[in-house]
Amino acid sequence: MTQTRFSPSIPSRPVYSGLVSCGSALSIMVADEAGAAALTDLARSDASVMDKAHLLLIGVSQATVQELSALTPRSLSQSPTVQGAEEIFDALIAHAAIGTLLFCAGSEGLIGQFSARAMRFGLSPDAIQSEHRGSVARRMQCVHCKGITEDVTTDPFICGHCGLTLFVRDHFSRRLGAFQGVCVDAETPGDIPETVEIRP
Amino acid sequence: MTLQFNDETFRGDYTFHNSPHAVRRFPFPFDRDSYMYSVNIEQHPGGAAGTPFEFAFDVDEHYVSEMRDRAITLAEDAQRCQSLPHMELAGWDLLELIMVSKARDYPHWFELTRDGNAWRWINKPMGVDDSFTFLDASTLPYGPLEYITRQAQGDFALLNERDGNLWLDAGMITSQADWSLDFDVGMNFFEWHAPVPKAGKMGVFDKALKFLLAVNQGQSYRRLNWTMTVNPRLDTSPENYHKWGPEKRSITPDNVGQRQFLRVELQTFWRLPRSNALAFPIRCYLASLEDLCTQPKWGRRLHRVLRDIDPDLADYKGFAVNQPTIVDYLSNFDDGAPTSQGIYPDASGA
């Protein structure tokens, strides 16, 4: 599995330029099952990236855990859920030394969410690298009720909180780590376009 | 000064109205019979007596009712006013700029007394008389940005400058043309303008950013922007789009003159002294087509502009669905005669 190529879009839509070694820098690396392959590829390009790397794996298989353990990172944590991972992440970043880098690999939701979380802890956007792998599902904020719906794969979709039918914008907030969803039938209630799969 | 403040609403029964005086001084945004994006910036304040350009912060007949409408919006959604933690000083800068300007330009309505950091602010139209300590937020009922912009017409964005860019890091946004402060807060200049069609490729934002970064202490500028709104609604926010959206489809040939409004933003830019932030007030003016067409020059020109506009812009500005009805109506006011240069109505206007 390789990096996703996205269609050209508007300037607020994030681009994920891929993970590049900064040598044996202090780092936190967050990945899901698909993103774990990006960490493996990164370590293959320069094994020293793992010297001071704290890995945080979310919802991955035991085979993947074993594969990444074999890269001998400084530490490896895992959580079956994003919620659990957030607690581990907060502890890691709260104790991170100045100059620590963040590497995110996997879905857009994971990248957006953990980048935003790191920035709230004061990490500079320059210190964050990301690589998209796997599903093109999006993390969406409903502009009406502000609720976040994870893993949105269709346009339009139904807000998991207020139940409005929302269309998927490319407008993205790095602070929220989410795309914007806006009521699709606001002007003509009930007139809902055909549902299509989100494309990269 | 004999100006009376209107008692009117911007939602529900929509009793908003412009007096003939307010119509004549309306900041009509078209200086020619066609429209395309431009940076169109000039110095501010500065303009003929009585125009919205004369003073730093125009106070007009809608002041008190607009502030009442803002309070309603904030009571329903406190996130319309946000300030990232590093922006409080810029909020004080803005508070000072507005208080000093209004007390100077409208001394019969506003008074500011300063003894060191001990300030007293009197706002007679709103019945405010507050004493507080400048730069000490605990002495005000709200943060400085929210406090002063609950008493100043228009939306306000505060832009922090860093890394050669401007960051939308604070604002009071309750009368916006369909953008969300809560979503956009923290974005840089290019990110928050990303949804605007065409302009990026035309280089408008590169030029605008260069200009804004070069605005120095003591300098201030303005530009006009515009869109179209059905009903005189200030809160055309995306947050409430599902509530006001259906009204957009309520336009008919019979009601278009009264219910279709030209919405003009008088945008100004101010470098702030302590924070070095830029203040970006976005003042909204509304006028119905019927009122605008009392000025023959505006009726002719608006017809030509809206008839010939780029379809992408009609769509972005949200009136494409009503464009045929609007243009049909306006054609009754266009006899084909030439129009004079500039935005002001002809002296012979009604």
- Say how far apart CA B134 and CA B96 lie, in whole Å: 9
Q: Are residues A108 and A168 in the same domain?
A: no
pLDDT, average across residues A179-200: 94
Question: Residue A1: pLDDT band by 50, 70, 90 thresholds?
Answer: low
Alpha helix ranges (H) inside B218-317? 241-248, 256-259, 289-292, 296-308, 311-316
The alpha carbon torsion through B256, B259, B262, B265 (nearest 10 deg) reads -160
Measured in angstroms, the CA of A189 and the nearest CA of chain B are apart by 8
Q: Are residues A43 and A80 in the same domain?
A: yes
User: How many domains does chain A contain in total?
Assistant: 2
Asked whether residue B99 is domain-assigned, the answer is yes
Q: Are residues A42 and A123 in the same domain?
A: yes
Mean pLDDT is lowest, of A7-11, A91-95, B331-335, for A7-11
Which residue's entry shows tokens 């007390």? B103
Q: What does the mean pLDDT of chain B come to? A: 94
Question: Residue B350: pLDDT band by 50, 70, 90 thresholds?
Answer: very low
Identify which of B192, B195, B238 has the shortest CB distance to residue A143.
B238
Q: Are residues A86 and A162 in the same domain?
A: no
Q: Are residues A62 and A119 in the same domain?
A: yes
pLDDT, average across residues B196-206: 79
Asked whether residue B15 is domain-assigned, the answer is no
- Say how far apart CA B24 and CA B295 lie, in whole Å: 8
Q: Are residues A100 and A157 in the same domain?
A: no
Asked whether residue B296 is domain-assigned, the answer is no
The alpha carbon torsion through A57, A58, A63, A64 (nearest 10 deg) reads -50
Asked whether residue A100 is domain-assigned, the answer is yes
Residue B314 sits at φ, ψ, to 5 deg, of -60, -35
Q: What does the mean pLDDT of chain A come to? A: 93
pLDDT at A144: 97
Tokens of B323: 């464009």
Whether B62 has a pLDDT exceeding 90, the answer reads yes
Contacts of A125 (CB under 8 A, 6+ apart): A115, A119, A174
Identify which of A12, A143, A189 has the shortest CB distance to residue B180.
A143
Asked whether residue B231 is domain-assigned, the answer is yes
Asked whether residue B2 is domain-assigned, the answer is no
Name residues 81-110 of chain A within 8 A of B (Cβ). none
pLDDT at B2: 58
Asked whether residue B193 is domain-assigned, the answer is yes
Whether B348 has a pLDDT exceeding 60, the answer reads no
Question: Residue B204: pLDDT band by 50, 70, 90 thresholds?
Answer: confident
pLDDT digit string (tens) for A81-126? 999 999 999 999 998 999 999 999 999 889 999 999 999 898 998 9
Residue B279 lies in domain: 20-28+39-285
Tokens of B101: 């300007």
Asked whether residue A95 is domain-assigned, the answer is yes
Residue A74 lies in domain: 27-132
Where a domain ends, among A132, A147, A173? A132
Asked whether residue B310 is domain-assigned, the answer is no
Asked whether residue B295 is domain-assigned, the answer is no
pLDDT digit string (tens) for B84-111? 999 999 999 999 999 999 999 999 999 9
The percent of residues above 70 in pLDDT, for chain B, comes to 98
Where a domain ends, among A87, A116, A132? A132
pLDDT at B138: 97
User: How many domains does chain B contain in total?
Assistant: 1
pLDDT at A106: 94
Torsion sign over Cα A53, A54, A58, A63? positive
- Say how far apart CA A143 and CA A183 lie, in whole Å: 8
A141, closest residue in chain B (CA to CA): B183
B243, closest residue in chain A (CA to CA): A186
Name residues 300-339 of chain B within 8 A of A (Cβ). 321
Question: Residue A158: pLDDT band by 50, 70, 90 thresholds?
Answer: very high
Q: In chain B, what's the furthest Cα-to-Cα distance?
A: 61
Where a domain ends, among A81, A105, A132? A132
Measured in angstroms, the CA of B243 and the nearest CA of chain A are apart by 7
pLDDT digit string (tens) for B161-180? 999 999 999 999 999 888 99
